[in-house]
Amino acid sequence: MSEYLVLIYSDEADPSWRDPANRDRVMKDHMEFGEKHGASLRGGNALHPSTSATSLRHDASGKVTVTDGAFVETKEALGGYYLIEAADLDEALAIAKDVPAPLGGVEVRPIMPT
């Protein structure tokens, strides 16, 4: 079995996030996803908006610069993730297809073995 990170992206500027009914529906969808795929889930969390991010970059001399915000400005930002275990990429993709992402999409990446 391999591990995969399923990254959930969404449009943070979409006004429908402000509607409590929409937020409740999405949370319900995630609960249903967890019930359906619980045997494959190894972890997962929602993230605070990208405005709460702090980024660190090393320059050529090794000096670290710390800045508020995400590395890049983008329409869709990382909003959460699931760590899953699957036999192969095809199985990971089948699981990821069920991840609720009404205002964006998901990305699946294999975890490098240590």
What is the per-residue pLDDT across 58-110, written as a single tens digit (0 to 9) for each? 888 989 989 888 777 777 889 999 999 999 999 999 999 999 998 889 999 99
Amino acid at 67: T
Q: What pLDDT, on a 0 to 100 scale, did the predictor assign at position 87?
A: 96
User: 57 φ, ψ to 5°?
Assistant: -135, 140
The total of structural domains in the chain comes to 1
Q: For residues 12 and 49, is the Cβ–Cβ distance under 8 A? A: yes
The pLDDT tens digits for 31-64 are 999 999 999 999 999 999 888 999 888 888 989 9
Closest alpha carbon to 37 in 79, 93, 113: 93
- Assign residue 32 the CATH number of its domain: 3.30.70.1060
User: What does pTM read for this prediction?
Assistant: 0.86
Residue labelled with tokens 């795929």: 37
| Structural domain harbouring 87 | 2-110
